[in-house]
């Protein structure tokens, strides 16, 4: 039985690593050859080394120390089994006890305790930092400033949004700022569902619409969220035209357009959002030439396209 004492710190190597090795690492390890074919880690995520976990997946970081609700590695194991992003997709799920341990380990700071794991492909600069937890994201500082601008919403208003299918949570304990997603019902989240969260618009700073069935029309609602900092639109049918509605967002720091229909035309709209710091464009229709023009319009922006 796994140790779950609330007093002792969770040991990654003794308590977390065993079930990751058993249930996750087979699909998330260093590239290898099988029957003459090269096998890559799913989603670019490796779980066989601390430095690789900190690096994250092709969709970005999967671990934020102290914040399970901001850590994809925890989020994915809690999704319904029929959700495309549920992990592991096949085989034995993590037990409730294992999920609890994972959550506690992240809450305690995601300390690897000196464990490094596989050094295959390990960057030289990772050798001195591989056991250090992920630093708080840049926009967390912005959240602190935005908290002073809004008041908590009533239970009735929050309840109405939840009844519409949204998952609503404070970005941290006692914060009036909200994180909204539809991860438990991505196939049911359409343009109308997004519109249903507008009563929360002053307080929403993070919105995840990834893998939902929204269209460009939904972005007319998204464009009305004055304090939106992070927006995830990955693997949706969003295209160039819809992005024009987002040019009104003055606080937007990060947008994920992985696997969308966005092309260089859409990047012209993003170029007008001067607050953007991070843009994810893997498997979109954007080109390196388009990204070059975008980077010129937004000095300092980080654009990931491959």
CATH number of the structural domain spanning residue 151: 3.80.10.10
Specify if 5 maps to a domain. Answer: no
Are 191 and 279 found together in one domain? yes
CA atoms within 13 A on the CB side of 301: 28
CA gap 156, 229 in Å, rounded: 25
CA gap 118, 120 in Å, rounded: 6
Tokens at 295, concatenated = 């980077």
Domain-ending residue, one of 126, 159, 183: 126
Specify if 1 maps to a domain. Answer: no
Are 219 and 117 found together in one domain? no
Are 106 and 151 found together in one domain? no
Domains in the chain: how many in total? 2
Are 281 and 147 found together in one domain? yes
Specify if 277 maps to a domain. Answer: yes
Pair 232, 208: CB distance under 8 Å: yes
Pair 258, 234: CB distance under 8 Å: yes
Strands 204-208 and 178-181: parallel
Question: Which pLDDT tens digits describe the chain residue by residue (306 residues)?
Answer: 333 333 357 889 999 999 999 999 999 999 888 888 888 999 899 999 999 999 898 888 899 888 888 889 998 998 888 787 888 888 889 998 899 899 889 888 888 988 999 998 888 766 545 555 544 555 567 888 899 999 999 999 999 999 999 999 888 778 899 999 998 788 999 999 999 999 999 999 999 999 999 999 999 999 999 999 999 999 999 999 999 999 999 999 999 999 999 999 999 999 999 999 989 998 899 999 999 999 999 999 989 886
Are 288 and 143 found together in one domain? yes
Alpha helices in 112-261 (DSSP H): 139-146, 155-163, 191-195, 219-222
Are 78 and 155 found together in one domain? no
Q: Which domain holds residue 47?
A: 12-126
């Amino acid at each position: 039985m796994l140790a779950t004492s609330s007093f002792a710190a969770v040991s990654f190597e003794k308590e977390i690593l065993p079930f990751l090795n058993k249930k996750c690492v087979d699909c998330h390890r260093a590239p290898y050859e099988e029957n003459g074919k090269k096998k890559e880690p799913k989603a670019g995520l490796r779980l066989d080394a601390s430095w690789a976990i900190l690096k994250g997946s092709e969709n970005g970081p999967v671990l934020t120390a102290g914040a399970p609700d901001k850590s994809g590695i925890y989020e994915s194991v809690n999704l319904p089994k029929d959700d495309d992003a549920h992990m592991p997709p096949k085989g034995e799920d993590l037990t409730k006890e294992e999920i609890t341990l994972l959550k506690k380990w992240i809450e305690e700071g995601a300390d690897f305790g000196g464990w490094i794991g596989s050094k295959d492909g390990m960057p030289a600069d990772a050798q001195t930092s591989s056991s250090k937890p992920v630093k708080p994201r840049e926009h967390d500082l912005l959240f602190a400033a935005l908290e002073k601008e809004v008041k908590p919403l009533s239970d009735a208003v929050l309840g109405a949004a939840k009844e519409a299918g949204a998952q609503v949570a404070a970005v941290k304990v006692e914060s009036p700022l909200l994180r909204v997603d539809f991860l438990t019902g991505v196939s049911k989240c359409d343009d109308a569902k997004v519109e249903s969260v507008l009563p929360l618009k002053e307080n929403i700073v993070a919105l995840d619409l990834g893998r939902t069935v929204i269209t460009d029309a939904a972005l007319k609602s998204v464009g009305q969220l004055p304090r939106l900092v992070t927006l995830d639109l990955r693997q949706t049918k969003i295209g160039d035209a819809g992005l024009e509605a987002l040019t009104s967002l003055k606080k937007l720091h990060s947008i994920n357009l992985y696997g969308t229909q966005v092309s260089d035309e859409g990047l012209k709209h993003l170029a007008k959002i001067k607050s953007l710091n991070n843009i994810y464009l893997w498997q979109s229709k954007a080109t390196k030439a388009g990204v070059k023009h975008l980077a010129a319009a937004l000095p300092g922006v980080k654009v990931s396209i491959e």
